[in-house]
């Protein structure tokens, strides 16, 4: 009489474990992709928000008007009196498929030497259904990202 070795798994048990793992992965991967997209959108909005604060602080510190000129995926901070580009950022490098626009009459936001602004709303989009925005008041206050 030969005694079977009780250690190890049968082929059926391994296949069942692989099926369960596959089902869990099929449920988790789409949620993970959505999480990553939201993370990138939030970070892109935070970068723009911080750079707008930077432009406002430079305007106050230098006593000169600073303008942030937007395109679909990039923006420049420009010192108005000399037309010198102080900062240039291309979001498509770090955040592909992110775009943004402003609701101002021109695709730019200006900060005066006292920190006041021309106002508007900046909208950052990852897709037509996923976006973040913040408002810039005439007083120069840059609202929270929502």
pLDDT of residue 15: 94
Place 106 in a pLDDT band, splitting at 50, 70 and 90.
Answer: low
Q: What is the pLDDT of residue 121?
A: 87
**Quick one: what percent of the chain has pLDDT higher than 90?**
49
Residue 52 domain-assigned (yes or no): yes
- Residue 73 in domain: yes
Q: Provide the domain count of the chain.
A: 1
Q: pLDDT, tens digit, for every residue of 1-19?
A: 565 666 778 889 999 999 9
In a domain, 91, yes or no: yes
In a domain, 42, yes or no: yes
Count of other CB atoms within 10 angstroms of residue 76:
17
Radius of gyration in angstroms for the set of CA atoms belonging to the chain, rounded to a whole number: 25
Burial of 65 (0-12, 13-18, 19+ CB in 10 A): middle
Residue 6 lies in a domain: no
44 touches 95 (CB < 8 A): yes
Is 144 domain-assigned?
Answer: no
Q: What is the pLDDT of residue 9?
A: 83
Q: What is the pLDDT of residues 59-97, one digit of tens each?
A: 999 999 999 998 888 899 999 999 999 999 998 888 888
**Full domain range(s) for residue 127:** 11-136
| Phi then psi dihedrals of residue 88, to 5 deg | -130, 130
Element (H, E) at 133: strand 130-136
Q: What's 25's domain CATH number?
A: 3.55.40.10
Are 136 and 112 contacting, i.e. CB atoms less than 8 angstroms apart? no
pLDDT at 105 over 60: no
Q: What is the pLDDT of residue 77?
A: 95
Cβ-based neighbours of 89, under 8 Å, separated by 6 or more: 47, 51, 74, 75, 76
């Amino acid at each position: 009489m030969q005694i079977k070795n009780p250690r190890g798994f049968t082929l059926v048990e391994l296949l069942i474990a692989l099926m369960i793992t596959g089902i869990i992965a099929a449920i988790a991967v789409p949620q993970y992709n959505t999480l990553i997209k939201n993370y990138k959108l939030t970070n892109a909005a935070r970068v723009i928000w911080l750079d707008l604060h930077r432009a406002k602080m430079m305007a106050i510190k230098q006593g000169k008007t600073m303008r942030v000129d937007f395109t679909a995926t990039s923006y420049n901070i420009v010192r108005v009196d000399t037309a010198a580009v102080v900062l240039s950022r291309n979001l498509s490098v770090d955040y592909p498929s992110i775009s943004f626009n402003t609701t101002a009459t021109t695709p730019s936001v200006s900060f005066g030497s006292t920190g006041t602004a021309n106002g508007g709303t900046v909208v950052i989009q990852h897709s037509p259904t996923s976006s973040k925005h913040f408002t810039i008041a005439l007083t120069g206050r840059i609202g929270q990202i929502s």
